[in-house]
Structure 1
Amino acid sequence: MGKLLFFEPALSGNGKRSCASCHRPEKAFTDHRGTSRALRFTANLTRNSPTLLASARQKTFFHDGRAANLGEVVRQVVENPQELGSSYAQLTGRLAESPAYRLAFRQALGTDITEASVNKALAAYVTSLISNNAAYDQARRGQQPLPTIALAGKRLFMGPAGCVGCHAAPDFRDGRRYLVRPGEWVKTPTLRNVALTPPYGANGQAATLLDVLGDAFHAAHRPRPLAPAEASQLLAFLAALTDTTSAEHRPPLALPALHSLPDRRVGGLY
C-alpha cells in the first residue's frame, strides 16, 4: 500500500509530483541534484535530498532533525507549498475516487482512506527500505574479507581519522546535530550507500566524497590531516558500505485509475 502511495502523483497539488520525484530508487532514493526540484518546475528547494535507505531507524528526521517520526515527515512534505503543495483533504478525496484504492486500504490497513492511514502506509514502506548486505556486512559475518585497501580504510575510519566518533555502525551516524556554519545546524547523515548518493552536504555543496573529506568542517574535527593515500583508503572503505538495496525496489507497473487525474504517470512527471 505504501509503495503505491510513494509513487502516486495524486498526493501532490498539481498531480505531477510524488515522493519518488526526490527519492528515486535507481539513485539510492535520492535525486543526485544539489538541491531538489520544487513543486514549481523552474524552482529548487533549499536542501539536498537525503537517502531513505535505512532512514526509519533514525530518532529524528530531515537535515535539521525537526520531525520526530515518519508520519510527521509525510505531513510536512504533503503540506509544504514548495514540495507536494497539497492537503490531506485534497489527496484523500482523490484517492477515494478509486474503488481499487478504497479496497486496498481496507485490505492492507483495515480502514478507510484518511490522513492517519496514508501516513501509516507510507511509513511502512520507508521502514522496509533496509538491507545490510554491503561488503562491510558480509565481512562482519565472515562471508568474505574486505579488500586490502578497504580494510586499511576501515582501520583509519575506526582509529586515527576519528570518523567513527560521528559515524558509528550499524548505520554510520550518531543522530546528533552539528554547527556546520554560523546559524546552521545539520544532523549527521548516514554513510551507508554514500558512494551512490552524490552530491553531498545538506545543501549539496560537495560534488564528490573526496571534496567532503577535504572540507573545512571535517578538517576541523579530524585529529590530524589525511595523507593522499589515506584519503584513498577511506574512500575504498566508504564504497564497501554500498549494498544493492536500491536496485531491488522498483516502481509499480501501474496505479489505480482516477477520474480526476486520468493521465498521471507512475512516480510523476518530474
Structure 2
Amino acid sequence: MVILDGKALSAKIKEEVRVEVSQLVEEKQITPGLAVVLVGSDPASATYVNSKHKSCEAAGIYSEVHTKDESTTQEELLSLIDEMNNNPKLDGILVQLPLPKHIDTTTVLEAINPLKDVDGFHPYNVGRMVSNLDSFLPATPFGVMRMFEEYGIELSGKNVVVIGSSDIVGKPMASLLINAKATVTVCNSRTKDLKAHTKEADIVIIAVGVPHLLKANMIKDGAVVIDVGINRLDTGKLTGDADFEDCKDKCSFITPVPGGVGPMTIGMLLKNTLKAAKLRDKRESK
C-alpha cells in the first residue's frame, strides 16, 4: 500500500510555479496576479482564502483579497467582478464558494472573464474541458489527475467509480477521466447498492462529505482510493469520506485526510494563475 502524499507533491508544484514566475518576471516583466473574493465570515472559507494568499506571495504571484460582508448585494459583487475583469494587474479571479443564499452563484461565476477564470467554473471553460480542449481545469480534479501522473497510476481502460456528482468535483472529475480513456461510473445519493459499483472498481474517487462512507468491504483488493472528502468530527479531528484505517491494507494506493487531495487544490490554482499570465503575454505579443 502506497500513501499518496499530496502535501509533498503540492510543495513540489508550488516550487515549480515559483521558478516559472521568477523567469516570467525576469524575461517578460510580467507578474501573475490573482484576486480572491470572500463574501461572509465562514471560518473554513476564511482559512482557505488566507492560505491561498500566503501561497501566492511565496510563489511571487501578486495577490489581492477582497472580503465582503454577508449583507453584500449581488449587484455590488458583480460590480467588483467587473472592476477586476478590467484590471490589467489581475490574471485570475476566484470567488470563494459557497456564497450567501441571496446571491445567485451561476450569475456571479458567469460574470467572470473566462480568460481569468482560474477556478475553471465558467461554462466556457467547462465546455472546453468536456470537449477535451485546452482550458482552465477546476483545481481539485486537476490536482487528482496530477497525483495519478506523479505516481504512475494508469487510467486508460480502468474501471473508475466517482462517488459524488457536484459541479466542483464529481462532474469535472468524471469528464477528465473520460478524456483519459477510463470507463467511468458516477454515483450519487440516489444510487442503489453503492457497494455493487465500488466492488468492481479499479479506482474509487469519493467526494460527498459523509465521514467514513467507504469501507474495506466495498472495495476490491488492490483498488486505488482517492478521498476528496474532508469532515470535522465532534472530537475536532479531520477525517475523510473513506474509512482510511479500514481500507488502507486492501488498497494499492490511498490518499490520507488531511494531507492528501486537499493540499493539491492550492497548488493547481497557482498553476492556473501562472497559465493565465502566460496566455496574457501571448495575446499582448501578437
What is the TM-score when the length of structure 2 is the normalising length? 0.25
- Structure richer in helix, relative to its length: 2
What is the TM-score when the length of structure 1 is the normalising length? 0.26
Higher relative contact order (CA 8 A, sep 6+): 1
